[in-house]
Amino acid sequence: MKLSAPIYALKREAKAFSRQQNVPLHAALDRIAVREGFSAWSLLAAKAVSKLGPRELFALLDPGDMLLLGARPGQGKTLMSLRIAAEAMKAGRHAVFFTLDYTPLEVEDRFRRIGEDPVLFGDLFACDCSEAIGDSHIIDRLAGAPRGTIAVIDYLQLLDQRRDKPELMQQVRALKAFARERGVTFIFLSQIDRSYDPVAKPCPDIEDVRLPNRLDLSLFDKTCFLHGDALRFVANR
């Protein structure tokens, strides 16, 4: 069944209807879904995920969300995160890229690889390459961030490598509480275990996330996994 408009446009329409008619957003989303031939928004979203691009993924993220974005090296998870950040900034949102893996110049280069000039985003974009990156540093840096800011953390497993930082579970819980309180959306880039076999499974999933130490992956509201042309998106709430 073909949608009358891209999913991001339908969600925007639902938000406008919710404000105008003073009805809950979930009810407005379901109303749009019924019009499109689905009994609920969740079913419409599930049908549309196979055609998701950066704009659609951005539209599926809400303030306070925790998205886990995973892929094997070279499959485009960093570039996808920057594409989502670019979509956010085009919509007037702020974006911050926290990385222990790249320099600011390397991040600028990757923006240009996706056809974006980071200079044009002005004050909407910031890159943080501090060696102090961890939950406390990220929360302090985002203390004044406007609601709806996109914060990319490159990457999840690096938060677990510093002995002077809390255990990974504690850090992710602290960031989740901050996200809920301030309406910041976190995108955690994640490594995939080397045992993942694309022949057996075209796209990795939550079971393939590499975790040297314990972490409750249900802390993430949404997950997105990439491999080649395959994309797997799941909303847990």
DSSP string of 90-117? HTT--EEEEESS--HHHHHHHHHHTT--
Give the model's pLDDT for residue 12: 84
Question: Using CA of residue 202, residue 203, residue 209, residue 215, what is the dihedral sign?
Answer: negative
Average pLDDT, the chain: 91
Residues contacting residue 230 through CB under 8 Å, at least 6 positions apart? 202, 203
Percent of the chain with pLDDT over 70: 96
For residues 142 and 109, what is the distance between their CA atoms, to the nearest angstrom?
Answer: 24
Reported as a single tens digit per residue, the pLDDT across 73-91 is: 999 999 999 999 999 999 9
Please check the confidence at residue 237 and state whether its pLDDT lies above 80: no
Give the model's pLDDT for residue 48: 61
Place 49 in a pLDDT band, splitting at 50, 70 and 90: low
For the chain, what are the domain ranges? 7-51, 54-235
Task: Tell me the CA distances in angstroms from 184 to 22, 67, 93, 115, one per residue in order.
Answer: 24, 11, 11, 26
- Can you spell out the DSSP letters for the chain? ---SS-HHHHHHHHHHHHHHHT--HHHHHHHHHHHTT-SSHHHHHHHHGGG--HHHHHHT--TT-EEEEE--TTSSHHHHHHHHHHHHHHTT--EEEEESS--HHHHHHHHHHTT--GGGGGGGEEEE--TT-SHHHHHHHTTTPPTT-EEEEE-GGGGGS-TTS--HHHHHHHHHHHHHHHTPEEEEEE-B-TT--TTT-SS--GGGB--SS---GGG-SEEEEEETTEEEEEE--
> pTM for the whole thing?
0.81
Give the model's pLDDT for residue 47: 64
Indicate the Cα dihedral angle 126, 127, 133, 137, nearest 10°.
-10
Place 212 in a pLDDT band, splitting at 50, 70 and 90: confident
Q: Is the pLDDT higher at 158 or at 45? A: 158
Place 43 in a pLDDT band, splitting at 50, 70 and 90: confident
Give the model's pLDDT for residue 40: 84
Residues contacting residue 62 through CB under 8 Å, at least 6 positions apart? 185
Give the mean pLDDT of 3-14. Answer: 81
Is 184:63 a contact under the CB 8 Å cutoff? yes
Give the model's pLDDT for residue 88: 97
Q: Residue 56, class by beta-carbon neighbours within 10 Å (0-12 exposed, 13-18 middle, 19+ buried)?
A: buried
Give the model's pLDDT for residue 1: 58
Of 31-35, 94-98, 148-152, minimum mean pLDDT range: 31-35
Give the model's pLDDT for residue 199: 85
Reported as a single tens digit per residue, the pLDDT across 103-128 is: 999 999 999 999 999 899 999 999 99
Give the mean pLDDT of 37-47. Answer: 77
As given in the structure block, the two tokens for residue 232 are 């797997």
Please check the confidence at residue 153 and state whether its pLDDT lies above 90: yes
Residue type, 117: D
* CATH class given for the domain over 54-235: alpha beta
